[in-house]
């Protein structure tokens, strides 16, 4: 989960673009056409409880909705850095919400999950105002954001707290390079974020798998050294054992950042993440 080099070549460039000192500007400059952004919509009172909506520029909805949560080890990140994600999917007929959420050290677990649930609640209430169909709601995230999406989909208490039921409110969810089974914690920062040791098992998505979970697509790179691929493998195994529909894709020679960077036009199809995500989402 720490910031480390992802290697040479494309992986090294992806790591640079995803670092805190570079707001993914190069990826966003070459955004897909055919989509428009509705920025800075408040889903709560806190300054970080804001989201940007992306929707197809041509045609009329209602469009199915994807709520996207970015990564950053629950310590950094900004929705404006991920315009390329919104454009990548909205240009193909989806409404996409890229949401900010509160971060450490201001907050710890479960505040970022409460924010995610509040963002989903806002989408249910307001997506139709912007041409979206919240009856076809999906969640997606990368890294720490994939964790957030997983917890909202698997641990029903967060959406129930905003009067939603994940078994009916969500059609499916997608996790890119997500941490789902990462105890014991070694990082002092993560120990602070996830609180006392006695509560940490309940912070793990894998411990909330039930037969009622929405279908899942788990994508990971087999060269990921930041969040080990075993996280996705173990969660996929647990979901299958519970009878939940799950697809696991492991891309060879792919590091942590590349699974989200591949959604951008400069690196599209290296690996073909967008095509895999779109095929999966279309089933719901």
pLDDT of residue 284: 81
Phi, psi of 220 (to 5 degrees): -145, 155
| Beta strands, E only, the chain | 35-42, 50-56, 63-69, 95-99, 132-142, 172-176, 216-221, 246-251
Please name every residue paired with 55 in a beta bridge, in sequence order, or none if there are none: 36
DSSP H helix total and E strand total for the chain: 11, 8
- Eight-state DSSP code of residue 47: T
**262 in Cβ contact with 276 (< 8 Å):** no
**226 in Cβ contact with 1 (< 8 Å):** yes
pLDDT of residue 18: 43
Cα dist. 36→33, 58, 59, 119, 212 in Å? 8, 9, 12, 20, 35
pLDDT of residue 5: 32
- Eight-state DSSP code of residue 266: G
pLDDT of residue 31: 64
Domain covering 35-282, topology: Rossmann fold (3.40.50)
Closest CA to 37 of 72, 69, 79: 79
Q: Between helices 273-282 and 83-90, what is the axis angle to 10°?
A: 50
**170 in Cβ contact with 99 (< 8 Å):** no
Longest dimension (CA), the chain: 52
- Eight-state DSSP code of residue 206: G
pTM score = 0.91
Cα–Cα dist 155/205, whole Å: 7
pLDDT of residue 265: 87
Cα–Cα dist 167/214, whole Å: 6
Give the full edge-to-edge strand order of the sheet including 132-142. 35-42, 50-56, 95-99, 63-69, 132-142, 172-176, 216-221, 246-251
pLDDT of residue 22: 47
Cα–Cα dist 84/281, whole Å: 18
Please name every residue paired with 99 in a beta bridge, in sequence order, or none if there are none: 51
- Domain ranges for the chain: 35-282
Per-residue pLDDT of the chain (284 residues), as tens digits, is 433 333 333 344 444 444 434 445 667 765 667 899 999 999 999 999 999 999 999 878 899 999 999 999 999 999 999 999 999 999 999 999 999 999 999 999 999 999 999 999 999 999 999 999 999 999 999 999 999 999 999 999 999 999 999 999 999 999 999 999 999 999 999 999 999 999 999 999 999 999 999 999 999 999 999 999 999 999 999 999 999 999 999 999 999 999 999 999 889 888 999 999 999 999 98
């Amino acid at each position: 989960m720490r910031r480390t080099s992802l290697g040479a070549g494309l992986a090294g460039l992806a790591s640079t673009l995803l670092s805190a000192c570079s707001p993914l500007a190069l990826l966003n400059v070459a955004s897909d056409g055919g989509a428009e952004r509705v920025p800075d919509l408040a889903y709560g009172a806190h300054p970080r409880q804001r989201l940007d909506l992306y929707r197809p520029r041509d045609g009329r909805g209602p469009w199915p909705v994807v709520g996207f949560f970015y990564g950053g080890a629950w310590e950094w990140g900004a929705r404006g850095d991920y315009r390329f994600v919104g454009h990548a999917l909205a240009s193909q007929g989806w409404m996409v919400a890229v949401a900010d959420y509160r971060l450490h050290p201001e907050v710890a677990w479960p505040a970022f999950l409460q924010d995610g649930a509040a963002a989903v609640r806002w989408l249910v209430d307001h997506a139709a105002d912007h041409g979206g169909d919240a009856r076809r709601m999906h969640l997606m995230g990368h890294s720490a954001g994939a964790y957030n999406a997983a917890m909202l989909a698997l641990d029903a208490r967060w959406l129930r707290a905003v009067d939603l039921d994940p078994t009916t409110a969500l059609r499916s969810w997608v996790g890119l390079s997500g941490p789902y089974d990462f105890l014991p914690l070694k990082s002092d920062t993560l120990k602070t974020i996830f609180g006392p040791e006695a509560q940490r098992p309940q912070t793990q998505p894998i411990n909330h798998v039930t037969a009622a979970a929405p279908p899942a697509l788990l994508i990971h790179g087999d060269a990921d050294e930041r969040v080990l691929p075993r996280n996705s493998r173990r969660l996929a195994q647990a979901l299958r054992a519970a009878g939940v529909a799950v697809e696991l894709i492991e891309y060879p020679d792919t590091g942590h950042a590349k699974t989200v960077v591949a959604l951008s036009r400069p690196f599209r199809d290296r690996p073909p993440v967008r095509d895999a995500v779109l095929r999966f989402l279309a089933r719901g």
